[in-house]
C-alpha cells in the first residue's frame, strides 16, 4: 500500500447521477486527463482503501463532471461513495507537470512553503482548504498557531514558489500580528 503522503487529492464525490452508477464529482485538478478511461483513482488509505478504474467521464458544468467507475453499476453503489475524496499517486501527478504553463504549479507545491509577511518569515503553509468563494491557505506560525489567508492574487504572491517561498499581503485586520 502506498503511504497517505504519496497521494494527492484531485476531486470529491458530491452525489449520484442517474440509475447506472455515475457519480457527480467536484474537480480540484486543472488536468482533466486524470479522469481518462482506464486511469486508476484511489479512495481512502490503509485497510479501508479502495481503487477504481475509470470507465468514462463527461463534463457537466463548471468544475463538476460525471464519472463512471468500474464496479459501480447502480445508484446504491454510487450513493455509498458520496462525500469521498478522490486521489491519485503523487508520481502520476508529476508525470503531468509538463502540461502546466511556465508560471503554473500544482497546489501540493504550496504545502511546506515558507511564508513571508512584510519581508519577514511568518510561517509555513500546511494545507489548502476549499471554501465557497475560493481556496484558503492554512498557515502555521509560531505565535498565533494557524491562520487562514484567502488564496487570491491580491493577498498571495507565488512568484518565488520554485524557492518554496510565498509572500502574503493580507488585508488590514485579517489577523492579529
- Strands of the sheet containing 114-117, edge to edge, are 145-150, 134-141, 120-131, 114-117, 165-168, 156-157
63-67, 85-89, 162-166 — which is least confidently predicted? 85-89
pLDDT over 50 (residue 81) = yes
pLDDT level of residue 48 (50, 70, 90 thresholds)? low
Q: What is the pLDDT at residue 56?
A: 94
Q: Hey, where are the domains in the chain?
A: 4-99, 107-168
pLDDT over 50 (residue 66) = yes
More confident residue, 145 or 35: 35
Q: CATH topology for 107-168?
A: SH3 type barrels. (2.30.30)
Residue range 85-110: mean pLDDT, rounded: 77
59-63, 88-92, 154-158 — which is least confidently predicted? 88-92
Q: CATH topology for 4-99?
A: Elongation Factor Tu (Ef-tu); domain 3 (2.40.30)
More confident residue, 131 or 67: 67
pLDDT level of residue 1 (50, 70, 90 thresholds)? very low
- pTM (2 decimals)? 0.67
For residue 102, give Cα distances in angstroms to 97, 106, 135, 159: 10, 12, 22, 12
Among residues of the chain, what percentage have pLDDT more than 70? Answer: 88
Residue range 117-144: mean pLDDT, rounded: 84
Q: What is the pLDDT at residue 127?
A: 84
Q: What is the pLDDT at residue 65?
A: 93
Residue range 7-34: mean pLDDT, rounded: 89
Amino acid at each position: 500500500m502506498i503511504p497517505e503522503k504519496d497521494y494527492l487529492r484531485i476531486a470529491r464525490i458530491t452525489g449520484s447521477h442517474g440509475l447506472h452508477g455515475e457519480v457527480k464529482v467536484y474537480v480540484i485538478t486543472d488536468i482533466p486527463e486524470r479522469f481518462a478511461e482506464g486511469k486508476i483513482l484511489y479512495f481512502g488509505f490503509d485497510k479501508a482503501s479502495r481503487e477504481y478504474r475509470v470507465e468514462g467521464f463527461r463534463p457537466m458544468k463548471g468544475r463538476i463532471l460525471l464519472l463512471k467507475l468500474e464496479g459501480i453499476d447502480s445508484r446504491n453503489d454510487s450513493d455509498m461513495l458520496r462525500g469521498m475524496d478522490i486521489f491519485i499517486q503523487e508520481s502520476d501527478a508529476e508525470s503531468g507537470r509538463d502540461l502546466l504553463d511556465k508560471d503554473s504549479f500544482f497546489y501540493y507545491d504550496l504545502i511546506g512553503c515558507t511564508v513571508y509577511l512584510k519581508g519577514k518569515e511568518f510561517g509555513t503553509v500546511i494545507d489548502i482548504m476549499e471554501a465557497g468563494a475560493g481556496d484558503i491557505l492554512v498557515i502555521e506560525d509560531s505565535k498565533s498557531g494557524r491562520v487562514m489567508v484567502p488564496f487570491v492574487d491580491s493577498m498571495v504572491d507565488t512568484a518565488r514558489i520554485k524557492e518554496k517561498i510565498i509572500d502574503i499581503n493580507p488585508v488590514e485586520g485579517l489577523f492579529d500580528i
